[in-house]
Structures are given as structure tokens and as C-alpha cells.
Amino acid sequence: MSAEVWAAFLLFAVVAVATPGPNNLLLLNAGLRQGLRKTLPFVIGINIGFSMLMLAIGFGLGRLFEQSPAIQMVLKILGTAYFLFLAFRLFRPAEAREQEEKPWRLGFWSGIAIQAVNPKAWVMCITTISLFLPRDWDIGTLGSMVGAFVVLGAPANIAWAGLGRSLRSILSDAKRLRLFNMSMAALLILSIAPVWIPKF
């Protein structure tokens, strides 16, 4: 890859990992509920899951996905159902969550699994492979691009979780916390809405 292509790719990666999306919205809420230290396994899971997805798309899964409307529809349905479930968990009153026998926590395996149904992750990976990966690529080039996403993404993920942790004092009031959780649930749903907008 030329220096110009690398620069364009890195700019795309920075914007992609830093802007709001399902991962970062969940990290924001996890940082608030769990604290930064307990959210780190979720951060690690996100980066491993994203790396696995990008490698799989680089080795042909993206081409299969683009050529199969049925697979696209299955992913849309599964992804939407899972994120609606997560939004419902955020929307529930704090009292209901506290009464659960096993508190809901986003951890390492959650971070990996979410990438499989995360529309933004798929778009990021397919865009990277189609726009920036050269035709005569080798595993070193693809691995370097995956590594760049991790180097840029992990600090951004931690920053989102840290932002959530810093909001604890502001959201100590039950009403404000309830409003925040409702807002996060709504934004999470909005973040996946674009996958259902018809392309003309």
C-alpha cells in the first residue's frame, strides 16, 4: 500500500472507531454501570471479535455476504433482534435490574459475539477491504490493517467506557439515570436503523 492509501485508511479508521455506534454506546453504558476496570474484558472482546470479523471478510466472507441477499437478511434480523434486546435491558427500570439473580454484565464473550451481528462493524470491515486493501494483498498487509484498527480502537473504546464512568456522579439521581438509560436505548436502536433503509 502506498503512503497516500495508508493515510486515507488511517483517517477512515479513526473516524470509524471514535464515532457513536453500537459498540461505543454499549461501552458508555457499561462504564457507567460496571466501572472502567470491569468493562475492560468487554473492550478486549470487542477488539478480538472485530479482528476476527475483518480477517474473515478479507478472506472471502465479505464477497459471499454481498452476493447473497438471504444471508444479508438473516444478519439484519439477528442483529436487529439482539440490539433490540440490549435496548430493552437498558430501558428497564434500575429496580427491576437490581432484582435479577444474576446481574447483567457485558464481558469478554459479549464483546466477541456482538461483532457478528453489529451492522456498523460489518460496514467498517467491508468498506476497509473493498476500498483500501490492494488486489495483490498478502496476510501481512491485512494483518497490519487489523492491527491498526486495534491500536486505534482500543483507546477509543476505553475512552467511551471512561466517559460512562465519569458520569456516575452526575447520574446519581434516579430520574436522571432513568432518562440517560432511555436515551441510550433509543440511540442504540437508531444506530442500527440505517440497515433497514432501502438503497436506491
Per-residue pLDDT of the chain (200 residues), as tens digits, is 778 889 999 999 999 999 888 899 999 999 998 999 999 999 999 999 999 999 999 888 767 776 777 877 887 788 788 888 888 877 776 554 554 545 568 899 999 999 988 888 988 898 898 889 888 888 889 999 999 999 999 999 999 999 999 988 888 777 888 888 888 888 888 877 776 766 54
| Confidence (pLDDT) at 26 | 92
No. of helices (H) and no. of strands (E), the chain: 10, 0
- Long-range contact list for 141-149, CB < 8 A, 24+ apart? 141/1, 142/54, 142/55, 142/58, 145/9, 145/54, 146/51, 146/54, 146/55, 148/9, 148/10, 148/13, 149/13, 149/17, 149/47, 149/50, 149/51, 149/54, 149/124
